[in-house]
């Protein structure tokens, strides 16, 4: 991994961790608010559509960062180059 791609990966990881931190802070406030608001009723938990969408986006970012990183991309590229390499017939 060269310097530029490592720098980009660190920047992406930092952004992902910040998003996770904010997700947990906001979801904590929303959850506490729901428990206080609906404590006297039989509504146990109301799901926030914003939190669901935010969680899906974080999940997609996590897969892109940890499963499909630069090493994975280089490995797949090398495999494709080996597949497409044709022997030279004279």
pLDDT at residue number 26: 93
Q: What is the pLDDT of residues 21-75, one digit of tens each?
A: 999 999 999 888 888 887 776 665 567 888 899 999 999 999 988 887 777 777 8
Residue 89 lies in a domain: no
Residue 58 lies in a domain: yes
Per the structure, how many domains does the chain have? 1
Residue 90 lies in a domain: no
pTM of the model: 0.67
CA–CA distance, 18 with 14 (Å, rounded to integer)? 6
Residue 40 lies in a domain: yes
Contact at 8 Å (CB) between 69 and 9?
Answer: yes
Mean pLDDT for 79-88 is: 71
Contact at 8 Å (CB) between 19 and 61?
Answer: yes
CA–CA distance, 30 with 55 (Å, rounded to integer)? 14
Residue 88 lies in a domain: no
Enclosing domain of residue 78: 3-83
Give 50's Cβ-side CA count (13 Å radius): 6
Residue 45 lies in a domain: yes
């Amino acid at each position: 991994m060269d310097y530029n791609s490592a720098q980009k990966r660190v920047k992406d990881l930092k952004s992902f961790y910040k998003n996770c931190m904010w997700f947990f802070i906001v979801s904590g406030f929303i959850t506490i608010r729901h428990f206080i608001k609906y404590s006297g009723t039989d509504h146990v938990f109301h799901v926030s559509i914003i939190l669901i969408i935010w969680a899906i986006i974080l999940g997609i970012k996590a897969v892109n960062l940890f499963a499909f990183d630069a090493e994975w991309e280089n490995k797949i590229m090398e495999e494709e180059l080996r597949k497409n390499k044709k022997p030279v017939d004279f």
